[in-house]
């Protein structure tokens, strides 16, 4: 498959993700994803039901070609997921677990839509809606969109990559030490409170 371009709004951070059977389009309705998007401003990132489209993938399919120095890493709490962002312009890039041994990255649609083919063309139809219980409005279930009650099942599915040889190929971590390639900034209590308050308000 052809690599699909990854780009922040301002164009400093650029790279690609290669579609494979391990990549699928999902929508996550959890408060954490929404709080992250709202913390960054989040215009046009959250849909009317409070969902965010994500391409679930593996770090080994991800490449950065330019601007890696502008990458920043946030977390909503000291043990929360790592939430990657283009520090140059605040474009959310994706989420990963804290350890590279869990070979998962969820890429937000916001970094996959600039100078790029439509997401269905590269990654196929939407496969799953996760954490629909936290949606801001009822989420209609369609045959193509089997709702799962929790995001964890998806992560478990993708953990097929865990401890397989591929996990060491990860542009977001120094895999020898298990540390992220940039320092993790944990939101302050006040920032966190503001982000979650914004996450509970409707409107995109
Ligand atoms: Zn940028
Ligand atoms: Zn989420």
Say if 204 falls within a structural domain.
no
Q: What CA–CA distance (Å, rounded) separates 134 from 101?
A: 28
Q: What is the pTM of this model?
A: 0.90
CB 6 within 8 A of CB 113: no
Neighbouring-strand partners of residue 55: 25, 107
Domain containing residue 60 = 4-198
Alpha helices in the chain (DSSP H): 31-39, 119-123, 152-158, 189-199
Domain containing residue 91: CATH number? 2.170.150.70
Q: Each residue of 92-132: pLDDT tens digit?
A: 999 999 999 888 999 999 999 999 999 999 999 998 888 88
| Ligand 1 center from residue 111 Cα (angstroms) | 10
| Ligand 2 center from residue 61 Cα (angstroms) | 21
Q: Each residue of 146-174: pLDDT tens digit?
A: 544 444 455 555 655 555 567 889 999 99
Q: What CA–CA distance (Å, rounded) separates 202 from 204?
A: 7
Q: How many domains does the chain have?
A: 1
């Amino acid at each position: 498959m052809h690599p699909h371009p990854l780009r922040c709004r301002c164009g400093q951070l650029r790279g690609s993700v290669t579609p494979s059977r391990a990549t699928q389009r999902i929508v996550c309705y959890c408060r954490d994803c929404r709080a992250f998007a709202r913390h960054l401003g989040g215009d046009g990132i959250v849909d009317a039901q409070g969902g965010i489209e994500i391409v679930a993938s593996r770090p080994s399919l991800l490449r950065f070609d330019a601007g890696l120095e502008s990458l920043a890493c946030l977390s909503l709490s000291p043990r929360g997921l790592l939430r990657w962002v283009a520090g140059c312009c605040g474009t959310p890039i994706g989420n990963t677990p804290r350890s590279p041994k869990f070979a998962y990255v969820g890429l937000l649609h916001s970094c996959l839509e600039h100078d790029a083919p439509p997401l269905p063309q590269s990654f196929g139809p939407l496969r799953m809606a996760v954490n629909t219980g936290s949606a801001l409005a009822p989420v209609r279930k369609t045959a193509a969109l089997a709702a799962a009650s929790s995001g964890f099942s998806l992560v478990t599915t993708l953990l097929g990559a865990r401890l397989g040889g591929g996990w060491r190929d990860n542009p977001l971590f120094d895999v020898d030490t298990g540390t992220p390639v940039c320092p993790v900034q944990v939101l302050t209590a006040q920032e966190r409170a503001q982000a979650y308050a914004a996450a509970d308000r409707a409107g995109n």
